[in-house]
Amino acid sequence: MKVFINPGHAPNGKPDPGAVNARTGLRESDVAAAVGNAAAQYLISAGVAVAVLQHDDLATICDTANASGADLFISIHCNAAESPAALGTETYCYPGSTAGEMLAKAVQRQIVDSLHTVDRGVKLAIPGQNGLYVLNNTSMPAILVELAFISNDHDADLLTHYQDAFARAIARGVTDYQLMQ
């Protein structure tokens, strides 16, 4: 099995760092990179082939993933909201992809159970409504994980101090998914 991991937003936050915690300056691009690279190392240790690409162009990400021979695609992000009360983990998958939904549920369960985040559930990225580009334009089962809300102080603390735990949870979700196949 080969997994393609896409830490969300641009490398080093240039030109797009994604969401930023207004109080601490914590940037989504930095959290996604740390979690994505650590998850890749855990998967490699478990015998899974991995490719990682953080890039500022979504078409490049999708084209590279589609050409990579990957069996699964995982995009890693941090959520944000105007309300600082919003918190929790949610994972998106492409509608109609049974394998994508299974992977999303496995990763979501591992994060929520391991980090005790609020379970916002697995959601469908519906093209034309809330369709996420990377889920609509990759050819393999794909998920987009919103680890936690960078705009919420509690979640931002988790995103700052528990990046390795998020990475381990993602890797365990992938290996759980493998066992279901």
pLDDT tens track for 30-86: 999 999 999 999 999 999 999 999 999 999 999 999 999 999 999 999 999 999 999
Q: In the predicted model, is pLDDT for residue 181 greater than 90? A: no
Tokens of 24: 């601490």
Least confident of 90-99, 127-136, 150-159, 167-176: 127-136
Domain that residue 89 falls in? 2-180
Q: In the predicted model, is pLDDT for residue 106 greater than 80? A: yes
Q: In the predicted model, is pLDDT for residue 130 greater than 90? A: no
* Cis? peptide before 141, omega within 30° of 0: no
At 141-167, the pLDDT tens digits run: 999 999 999 999 999 999 999 999 999
Q: In the predicted model, is pLDDT for residue 131 greater than 80? A: no
| pTM exceeds 0.95, yes or no | yes
The rounded distance, in Å, linking the Cα atoms of 41 and 49 is 10
The rounded distance, in Å, linking the Cα atoms of 165 and 171 is 10
Find the CATH number of the domain harbouring 133: 3.40.630.40
Contact between 133 and 57 (Cβ < 8 Å):
no
Residue 143 dihedral angles phi and psi, to the nearest 5°: -135, 155
Domain count, the chain: 1
Q: What confidence tier does 128 reach under pLDDT thresholds 50, 70, 90?
A: confident
